[in-house]
Structure 1
Amino acid sequence: MSFAFNFEEDFSDNEREAATVDAFNNPLDVVQIDPKRLPKVEDIGILLKTLVGHRVSYSPSSIGEATVYRRELYDVKHQLMLEDDSQDKEEFDILIGDTPEDLRNGIYEGGLKSWECSFDTIERLNQMNDSLLFGNKSEEPHNILELGCGTALPSCHLFPRLFHEKPREKPVSLILSDYNASVLRLVTLPNLLINWALTLDSNVREELQRKTPDEEPVIRDEELEVTQALTDSFVNALLSNNISVQLVSGSWGRQFLDVLDVQYSGSGLIISSETIYSPQTLPIVAETILELLHKIRNKESCCALVAAKEIYFGVGGSVGEFLRYLEDRLHVTMGPYTDVVYDVQTINANLKRCIVFIQDSS
């Protein structure tokens, strides 16, 4: 694929006009959230236990010079069918593929699949310097947040590198958010586990093997035996490397920002791929990013990447609509975001895609 920078300059004066700050109805405050979908931080220990005893099949994806690994979709469905389907029946039917839908409003938001813009995001991350990705060693705690993570391939690409960024005195928080808790359990967390496990050296692998009664290797080509020893080693590796992982399920809105168990006092990187396909969620994504950037302003490494198809046919969202929303918010007189800047990277493919890079320049 080829890349070209395309700075949007065709907004009319009317589009740049905005109401006063007092008259603005913040979408984070007015969005109506189903009580069953209130955001919450999932317990990683509990989620890991549901994976123990499973052989997780995975496959590699090459993106430029990078390789990232993801759990096979058929493997996810196999685990679901082995488990007690006491979860929401409507969601269960979608997850195991009994319906042809990629998403259903209020039930499932497409998190089991890996979409094209995730791969675009990985390529862009490869072009960014380490201080933007991981923060400077002299800075406050660094936060990496992926909004609408699904299979979380961009975070999985960065994740193994966190274990090699030594010495690190300041903690790093990786926060992964998806609408469905089942997606976090079945693909997000397993993908992190796979991409971490494949970086382990032979001595660690041999130690893990001695702790399991299975004669086969714990880590082998295209399959991972999830043992208690493996998950214990994973948790210990996070602790010893000053890395925290938070999985947040549920709807976005003001409550989502409230439940994030991290203080955005340090530097930060925000990633969001294929999340602005809906006119209803598009302003919520934009406002969430703007508020987080504002909280961590005056930090050199503070930015957001929003990757999306130029137009989502039949759904309603578009990059143009997202940029119009940004423009309206950035040009509010005496508003809080007058120092926010952005540029647009256009990806020339059969279906045109873009990456919007947003940064607080103050």
Structure 2
Amino acid sequence: MADGAEPAFRFNFGKEESDRVQEEQGAPDYSEPAAEVVHRPQPGVAFFTEEVSIAEGLALVKGIISSDEAATILSDQRIAASDLVPGKYEGGFKLWECSLDLCTTLLDRYKVVPDRVLTDPELTTELNGKRVLELGCGHGLPGILALMSGAEVHFQDYNQEVLRRLTIPNVIANMVRLPRSRPRPPTRYFSGDWRLVGEHLTSRGYGGHYDFILSSESIYSVPAQERLLECIKQLLQPPHGVALIAAKRYYFGVGGGTKSFRNLVEEDGIFEVSVVAQVDDKTSGNVREVLMLKFPAAIHPYFL
């Protein structure tokens, strides 16, 4: 487990248990409409944080919201016992291991020096001036790292309350640690299902396309993979846009993971896909990977 991350998904059950949960919860209705979430301070709502080590010389801070608190915030007691309630809650109040892997990948690939992120008043990185979207952001640490590194960042989560109670406070808590002279790139926040978010962002004057799309632990099931891929196809900027997807190779009991997602992307034929980082998690017996999606040299007719 990555340092500072919370325990692995609690829905690592077998097929019979998976079928039983689906039967009890019913067919998930992924129809949460897309909307921009505007930051409104919430006086009297405590926000507790702790540090999370990203790399030697760099720690970010994350909010602490328990499963019971998440259930209260979203008015659904099922959330107290499960990290996934399909169509209702997508685990946004938890910090997953692969989000930290994605942070490490950003540091390594885009010349971000860890011990300068919080101290350099004129930090220069390959992310300066780029437009970044983090899908299924939750805590938003990869997006926050990109923001600290000079990118304009938009954060998306299925639940508005995850953005209001966790993502936005996390962004504020980390950005106030930067030198005062460091420019603060703009941020925006969007909620809703991926099938609707792509259309919303391309049709409402939000700029539409992104140089980088980031996502962690979001491809745990085949339906989730299909919805995420369609969103990326709508929003990634050709011809040089890059999507980085961090996840486990397998999510036992729910059918997803990097292996099946790679197959889906290859069958779809729009993007080239490769593994750019890998962590052998001996504790769980699983492998965590970061996948890169990019456009082939010849742009697919889909984008012409």
Q: Which category of TM-score, normalised to the shorter sequence, fits these structures?
A: 0.7 to 0.9
For residue 172 of structure 2, what is the aligned residue in structure 1? 193
For residue 47 of structure 2, what is the aligned residue in structure 1? 56
User: Larger deviation: 66-75 or 279-288?
Assistant: 66-75
- Which residue, out of 230, 238, 258, partners 1:287? 230
Q: How far apart, in 2, do the equivalents of 1:75 and 1:310 lie?
A: 25
Q: How far does residue 143 in structure 1 lie from its aligned partner after superposition?
A: 1.3
SS of alignment partner, residue 144 of structure 1: strand
For residue 278 of structure 2, what is the aligned residue in structure 1? 346
1:286 maps to a residue whose letter is L
Runs (5+) with no aligned partner, structure 1: 3-30, 163-171, 205-236, 331-336
Q: How far apart, in 2, do the equivalents of 1:88 and 1:353 lie?
A: 30
Taking a change above 3 Å as real, the CA distance of residues 94 and 189 of structure 1, as seen in their structure-2 partners, is farther
SS of alignment partner, residue 194 of structure 2: coil
Q: How far does residue 360 in structure 1 lie from its aligned partner after superposition?
A: 1.7
Q: How far does residue 75 in structure 1 lie from its aligned partner after superposition?
A: 11
Q: How far does residue 262 in structure 1 lie from its aligned partner after superposition?
A: 2.4
SS of alignment partner, residue 165 of structure 2: helix
Taking a change above 3 Å as real, the CA distance of residues 133 and 342 of structure 1, as seen in their structure-2 partners, is farther
For residue 198 of structure 2, what is the aligned residue in structure 1? 257
Contact preservation (8 Å) 1:76, 1:187: no
Taking a change above 3 Å as real, the CA distance of residues 187 and 322 of structure 1, as seen in their structure-2 partners, is same
Contact preservation (8 Å) 1:252, 1:284: yes
Q: How far apart, in 1, do the equivalents of 2:37 and 2:45 lie?
A: 20
2:105 maps to a residue whose letter is R
- 1:30-69 equivalences in 2 (<5 Å): 33-34=30-31, 37-44=32-39, 46=40, 49-50=41-42, 52-65=43-56, 66-69=58-61
Taking a change above 3 Å as real, the CA distance of residues 59 and 154 of structure 1, as seen in their structure-2 partners, is same
Asked if 1:144 is matched to 2:136, the reply is no
Structure 1 segments, 4+ long, off by >4 Å, are 130-133
Contact preservation (8 Å) 2:67, 2:81: no
Contact preservation (8 Å) 2:132, 2:212: yes
Q: How far does residue 33 in structure 1 lie from its aligned partner after superposition?
A: 4.1
Q: Deviations over 1:187-217 (max 9, x none)?
A: 101110110112255xx9xxxxxxxxxxxxx
Q: How far does residue 290 in structure 1 lie from its aligned partner after superposition?
A: 2.9
User: Larger deviation: 316-325 or 284-293?
Assistant: 284-293
SS of alignment partner, residue 174 of structure 2: helix
For residue 208 of structure 1, what is the aligned residue in structure 2? none
**RMSD between aligned residues:** 3.0
Asked if 1:248 is matched to 2:190, the reply is yes
Contact preservation (8 Å) 1:277, 1:315: yes
Contact preservation (8 Å) 1:143, 1:264: no
- 1:145-224 equivalences in 2 (<5 Å): 145-162=133-150, 173-200=152-179
Asked if 1:357 is matched to 2:299, the reply is no
Taking a change above 3 Å as real, the CA distance of residues 313 and 262 of structure 1, as seen in their structure-2 partners, is same
Percent of paired sites with the same residue: 27
- Which residue, out of 102, 108, 126, partners 2:83? 102
Contact preservation (8 Å) 1:133, 1:269: no
- 1:219-230 equivalences in 2 (<5 Å): none
Q: Deviations over 1:37-69 (max 9, x none)?
A: 11111122x3xx22x344422111112223111
Asked if 1:134 is matched to 2:127, the reply is yes
Q: How far does residue 117 in structure 1 lie from its aligned partner after superposition?
A: 0.2
SS of alignment partner, residue 174 of structure 1: strand
Question: Is the helix fraction higher in 1 or 2?
Answer: 1
**TM-score (structure 2 length as normaliser):** 0.74
SS of alignment partner, residue 138 of structure 2: coil
Q: Deviations over 1:120-155 (max 9, x none)?
A: 1011111112598525x6xxxx31000100111111
Q: How far apart, in 2, do the equivalents of 1:62 and 1:88 lie?
A: 29
Count of paired positions = 252
2:187 maps to a residue whose letter is V
Contact preservation (8 Å) 1:56, 1:75: no
Taking a change above 3 Å as real, the CA distance of residues 155 and 94 of structure 1, as seen in their structure-2 partners, is farther
Contact preservation (8 Å) 2:93, 2:166: yes
Contact preservation (8 Å) 1:40, 1:250: yes
Taking a change above 3 Å as real, the CA distance of residues 88 and 275 of structure 1, as seen in their structure-2 partners, is closer
Taking a change above 3 Å as real, the CA distance of residues 176 and 359 of structure 1, as seen in their structure-2 partners, is same
Structure number, greater radius of gyration: 1
**TM-score (structure 1 length as normaliser):** 0.63
SS of alignment partner, residue 88 of structure 2: coil
Taking a change above 3 Å as real, the CA distance of residues 59 and 75 of structure 1, as seen in their structure-2 partners, is farther
